């Protein structure tokens, strides 16, 4: 029987704070060097204390692990390295007991070439239903307008299969054949997978690589109407089974194109705002609000029941697909002068190293993440300022073991260090001996404590997740200022993007008579009048003001 969903609020995802983590990296309970579900269960108290409300788990399904689990060979099971289905059930129940929602991956676009569907397809007669689970061609000349996404490793979107004696289509790695959604049986199979996990009680799915589900000649094979039709069918199915089930679209596209994934509120409830992320970094490096304001002003309105997913960093590279060539050059010069940090079109670094381990810059970026309209996603380890290892290949350098203590293996695992799925970070700046949860829990001024407080504040004011956004335009472009409104509530956010003290005069004529109360310290500021509102902000400083009407 399906469960009704663990969240009481049907729009829970709008008020959520999401924590993204790979099970393999979090905590190893059985000492084999790989994180697992029993380990994750043991660490739920930590996650609960952090204050996040939703977990997004990276793929944990059986897989040859040639793309960190995004190459799935069995959709309805748990990779033995991470535990069993019963372990997953126990974890899920424990998470729900703590009022944590759980979102898992649904890799719709492709499977592993080891998946039984593909093994069957390559041996099935051409034109059969089984063969048509995937997209085949006798030549490489179909869909030539589709770009290659993994430019560092793939030369074509077609790969020859000697068993099938045909080329198969893949938008990502050559060992990840794309499913063929022109075959209705494929969608039925996927819906069965969805039912399996919904019946276990998961609260939503992150839909991986959704723009690429359908191919049509003469197009870029992205964002096609037929793709949206598939997604709407998925939504209808989820809605009927678990009305509060949430779909989060991974569509690395411009906002105008991503808008279509919300449709009329009948497709995905959430989608990432990919172009905002690099512009938050760009704006802070330029010490100019323009990149942030510009992209937000280009962002179309979305239905009331929908929400943007915002992030600073995640398990992938800091992707620079949604920037101009000039902007990309700037970002590489600013944030990856070391070519080792570059991969594909992006930068494979965590948050703290990207900003030179500057605490104020980390705080300022998080203040933007937690106040711009959308649901923030926090990548595991960034709450303690973990570093990375760009020499580990692919994007593995940002997927190293969670640093719990200064003990062996950062207390991630009791295994011999050589057995760990990945070495822990050991450099003198970000190494686990200095950067770890235990130390930061004991330090009242640590980044971890700061993040806990910020998350708590974010949850206190619905305007952060659900409010409307209005940018102010002070003359000083180093200052980013905006007002969030939600019902009678109004919040004024002011951020200094520069490394030096900055003055600003804000025109707050629409807010005359209100008292700004600084949210972090609950301190009253002077009442807003017709005169420009003068503030001074320290380097990388920010204020959040709750605007209170005192005469009521």
Partner 1 sequence: MSDAAPATADIVVGLVAHQDAENIGVVAKAARQGLDGHCAGLAGRVVLVDTGFGEDSAARAREALGDDGDVLETSTARTPADLLDLPYHGIPGKARALSAILARARELGARACVVLDAGVVSVEPQWVEWLTRPIIAHDFDLVSAYYYRHPYEGALTKGLVYPLVRALYGARLRQPAAAEFACSARLLDRLLDEDLWEREGAHAGIDLWLATAAASGDFRLAEAALGVRTGRARGEAPLGLGTTVTQVVGALFGDLGSRVERWQRVRGSVPVQQFGEPPDAAPAPGGSVDPERLIEQFRLGYRELRDLWTWVLPPRTIVDLARLIDVPVSGFRLEDELWARIVYDFALGYRLRVLARDHLLRSLVPLYLGWLASFVLQVRDLGPADVDLRVERLCAAFEAQKPYLISKWRWPERLRT
Q: Looking at the annotation, which residues are catalytic?
A: 208, 250
Give the torsion sign (CA, 442, 448, 454, 455).
negative
Q: Is 449 in the site for partner 1 (CB under 8 A)?
A: yes
Residue closer to partner 1 by CB (options 9, 199) is 9
Please pick, from the candidates 419, 459, 477, 499, the single residue that binds partner 1 as defined by CB under 8 A: 459
Min CB(449)–partner 1 separation in Å: 6
Min CB(309)–partner 1 separation in Å: 22
Asked whether 352 and 313 are in contact (CB, 8 A), the reply is: no
Please pick, from the candidates 1, 337, 418, 444, the single residue that binds partner 1 as defined by CB under 8 A: 444
Helix axes 85-97 and 184-200, enclosed angle (nearest 10):
60
* 480 to 499: interface string for partner 1, x by CB under 8 A: --------------------
Place of tokens 């995937």: 134
* 54 to 73: interface string for partner 1, x by CB under 8 A: --------------------
Burial of 311 (0-12, 13-18, 19+ CB in 10 A): buried
Please pick, from the candidates 418, 428, 445, 530, the single residue that binds partner 1 as defined by CB under 8 A: 445
Residue closer to partner 1 by CB (options 47, 457) is 457
Please pick, from the candidates 453, 468, 509, 531, the single residue that binds partner 1 as defined by CB under 8 A: 453
Q: Is 3 in the site for partner 1 (CB under 8 A)?
A: no
Please pick, from the candidates 129, 163, 240, 460, the single residue that binds partner 1 as defined by CB under 8 A: 460
Min CB(279)–partner 1 separation in Å: 29
Whole-angstrom CA distances from 313 to 13, 231, 382, 505 are: 19, 26, 8, 32
Q: Is 4 in the site for partner 1 (CB under 8 A)?
A: no
Residues with Cβ within 8 Å of residue 219, at least 6 apart in sequence: 143, 145, 146
Residue closer to partner 1 by CB (options 426, 517) is 517
Min CB(98)–partner 1 separation in Å: 13
Please pick, from the candidates 456, 513, 526, 538, the single residue that binds partner 1 as defined by CB under 8 A: 456
Min CB(455)–partner 1 separation in Å: 11
First to last CA, the chain: 50
Min CB(545)–partner 1 separation in Å: 13
Segment lying near partner 1 (by CB under 8 A), choices 51-59, 116-124, 326-334, 450-458: 450-458
Show the tokens assigned to 73: 């060979």
Whole-angstrom CA distances from 484 to 26, 319, 532 are: 35, 28, 19
| DSSP track, 394-450 | TTGGGSPPP---SSGGGGS-SS-GGGSSSPPP-STTT-TTTS-HHHHHH-TTSHHHH
Residue closer to partner 1 by CB (options 119, 449) is 449
Min CB(460)–partner 1 separation in Å: 6
The backbone torsions φ and ψ at residue 307, rounded to the nearest 5 degrees and listed phi first, read -155, 140
* 396 to 435: interface string for partner 1, x by CB under 8 A: ----------------------------------------
Min CB(515)–partner 1 separation in Å: 10
Q: Is 457 in the site for partner 1 (CB under 8 A)?
A: yes
Residue closer to partner 1 by CB (options 85, 520) is 520
Residues with Cβ within 8 Å of residue 526, at least 6 apart in sequence: 516
The backbone torsions φ and ψ at residue 480, rounded to the nearest 5 degrees and listed phi first, read -105, 120
Residue closer to partner 1 by CB (options 34, 484) is 484
Min CB(459)–partner 1 separation in Å: 8
Closest by Cα among 99, 91, 136 to 118: 136
Residue closer to partner 1 by CB (options 185, 523) is 523
Burial of 139 (0-12, 13-18, 19+ CB in 10 A): exposed
Please pick, from the candidates 151, 185, 468, 523, the single residue that binds partner 1 as defined by CB under 8 A: 523
Q: Is 50 in the site for partner 1 (CB under 8 A)?
A: no
Min CB(178)–partner 1 separation in Å: 45
Segment lying near partner 1 (by CB under 8 A), choices 159-167, 234-242, 432-440, 452-460: 452-460
Percent composition of the chain: helix, strand, coil (DSSP 3-state, to 5): 35, 20, 50
Segment lying near partner 1 (by CB under 8 A), choices 127-135, 151-159, 305-313, 448-456: 448-456
Residue closer to partner 1 by CB (options 11, 247) is 11
Edge-to-edge order in the sheet of strand 479-486: 468-471, 479-486, 489-496, 542-548, 515-518, 523-524
Give the footprint of partner 1 on residues 503-522 (CB under 8 A): 519-522
Q: Is 548 in the site for partner 1 (CB under 8 A)?
A: yes
Residues with Cβ within 8 Å of residue 17, at least 6 apart in sequence: 51, 52, 53, 54, 370, 375, 376, 378, 455, 458, 459
Alpha carbon distance 474, 465 (integer Å): 24
Closest by Cα among 422, 381, 269, 355 to 19: 381
Q: Is 96 in the site for partner 1 (CB under 8 A)?
A: no
Residues that bind partner 1 (CB under 8 A): 444-445, 449, 453, 456-457, 459-460, 519-523, 548, 550
């Amino acid at each position: 029987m399906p469960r009704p969903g663990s969240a009481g609020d049907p729009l829970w995802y709008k008020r959520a704070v999401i924590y993204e983590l790979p099970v393999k990296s979090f905590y190893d309970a059985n000492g084999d060097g790989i994180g697992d579900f029993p380990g994750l269960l043991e660490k739920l108290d930590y996650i609960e204390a952090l204050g996040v409300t939703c977990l997004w788990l990276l793929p944990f399904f059986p897989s040859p692990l040639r793309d960190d689990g995004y190459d799935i060979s069995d959709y309805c099971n748990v990779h033995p390295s991470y535990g069993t289905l019963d372990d997953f059930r126990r974890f899920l129940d424990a998470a729900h007991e703590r009022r944590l929602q759980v979102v898992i991956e649904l890799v719709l676009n492709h499977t592993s070439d080891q998946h039984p569907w593909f093994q069957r397809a390559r041996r099935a007669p051409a034109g059969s239903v089984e063969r048509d689970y995937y997209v085949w061609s006798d030549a490489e000349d179909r869909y030539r307008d589709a770009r290659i996404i993994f430019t560092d490793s793939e030369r074509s979107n077609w790969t020859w299969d000697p068993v099938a004696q045909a080329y198969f289509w893949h938008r990502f790695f050559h060992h990840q054949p794309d499913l063929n959604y022109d075959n209705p049986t494929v969608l039925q199979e996927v819906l069965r997978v969805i039912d399996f996990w919904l019946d276990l009680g998961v609260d939503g799915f992150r839909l991986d690589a959704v723009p690429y589900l359908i191919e049509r000649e003469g197009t870029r094979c992205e964002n096609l109407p037929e793709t949206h039709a598939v997604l709407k069918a998925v939504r209808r199915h989820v809605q009927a089974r678990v009305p509060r089930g949430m779909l989060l679209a991974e569509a690395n596209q411009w906002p105008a194109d991503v808008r279509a994934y919300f449709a009329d509120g009948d497709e995905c409830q959430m989608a990432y705002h990919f172009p905002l992320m690099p512009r938050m970094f760009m704006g802070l490096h330029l010490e100019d609000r323009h990149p942030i304001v510009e992209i937000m002003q280009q962002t179309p309105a979305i239905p009331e029941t929908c929400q943007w997913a915002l992030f600073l960093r995640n398990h992938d590279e800091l992707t620079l697909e949604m920037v101009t060539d000039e902007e990309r050059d700037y970002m590489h010069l600013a944030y990856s002068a070391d070519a080792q940090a570059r991969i594909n079109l992006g930068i494979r670094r965590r948050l703290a190293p990207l900003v030179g381990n500057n605490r104020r810059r980390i705080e300022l970026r998080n203040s933007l993440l937690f106040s711009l309209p959308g649901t923030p996603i926090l990548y595991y380890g960034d709450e303690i300022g973990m570093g990375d290892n760009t020499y580990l290949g692919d994007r593995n350098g940002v997927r190293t073991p969670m640093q719990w203590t200064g003990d062996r293996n950062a207390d991630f695992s009791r295994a011999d260090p050589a057995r760990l799925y990945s070495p822990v970070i050991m450099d003198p700046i970000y190494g686990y001996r200095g950067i770890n949860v235990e130390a930061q829990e004991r330090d009242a001024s640590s980044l971890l404590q700061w993040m806990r407080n910020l998350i708590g504040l974010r949850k206190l004011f619905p305007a952060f997740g659900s409010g409307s956004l209005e940018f102010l335009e002070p003359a000083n472009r180093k200052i980013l200022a905006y007002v969030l409104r939600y019902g009678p509530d109004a919040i004024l956010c002011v951020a200094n993007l520069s490394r030096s003290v900055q003055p600003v005069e804000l025109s707050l004529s629409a807010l005359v008579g209100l008292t700004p109360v600084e949210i972090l310290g609950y301190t009253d500021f002077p009442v807003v009048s017709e005169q420009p509102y003068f503030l001074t902000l320290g380097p990388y400083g920010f204020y959040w003001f709750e605007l209170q009407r005192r005469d009521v």
